[in-house]
Amino acid sequence: MRTNAGNLKKGEFIFYQGEVWQIQKADFYSPGKGSALMKTRVKNVKSAKNVDITYKSNESVETVDVESVEMQYLYKDTENIYFMDSRNYNQYSLPLNIVGTVADYLKEGQRYFVYLHDEQPISMRPPMSVRLKVISTEEAVKGDTVSGAKKPAQVETGVTVMVPLFVKAGEIITINPETGQYGERVKE
């Protein structure tokens, strides 16, 4: 399937140099004179290598058909993360270098979307936010009211994130897994 480069969006998959790449960033750029450009950053789904590619906006680009399947996250080891397709109980693995730091925020047993190409997993769609329990954090000191002050907090997946001073151990918070940034406290 082909599309104009001007229509490319973050998250889509393309063929480039005979391999499958996922678009990480796509910015439309009009220099004033000449034709408009689409500046993209793409990530190879096998090697995790990032490359910047600039296309003319009317240039034809070959896109890749992928299937997005909701799967249960099972666990991770030192090299891969593992998912199970609940429809047929098939298990799939994705290399950690493809998933990146998002894997630090995934909770076992939760459901996430995995992209399949020719029945093989090539990437996953990171959730917009994840809900995780704060396991440990320092108590806020009375009078410590610096605007926007933050403190480290360890969450149930083992990763440490920076949270506002009012967050306490035992509370549930939301985190953006792509940036590792605190979102909000969740009332249960």
Cα distances from 50 to residues 8, 25, 43, 99, 165, in angstroms, run: 17, 11, 4, 13, 36
CA–CA distance from 188 to each of 110, 133, 134 (Å)?
A: 18, 11, 14
Handedness of CA 67, 12, 79, 74 (dihedral sign): negative
pTM above 0.85, yes or no: no
Average pLDDT for residues 13-33, to the nearest whole number? 91
What average pLDDT does this structure show over 146-154?
A: 83
Of 41, 62, 83, the position where a domain reaches its end is 62
The CATH number covering residue 37 comes to 2.30.30.30
Containing domain of residue 97, as a range?
67-125
Size (the chain), residues = 188
Q: Which residue, 101, 125, 149, sits at the end of a domain?
A: 125
Number of compact structural domains in the chain: 3
* Structure letter (DSSP) for residue 144: -
Residue that wins the pLDDT comparison between 57 and 171: 171
Amino acid letter, residue 92: Y
Strands 172-176 and 130-137: antiparallel
Give pLDDT, residue 145: 61
Last residue of some domain: 88, 106, 125? 125
pLDDT in tens, 34-60: 888 999 999 999 888 999 999 998 999
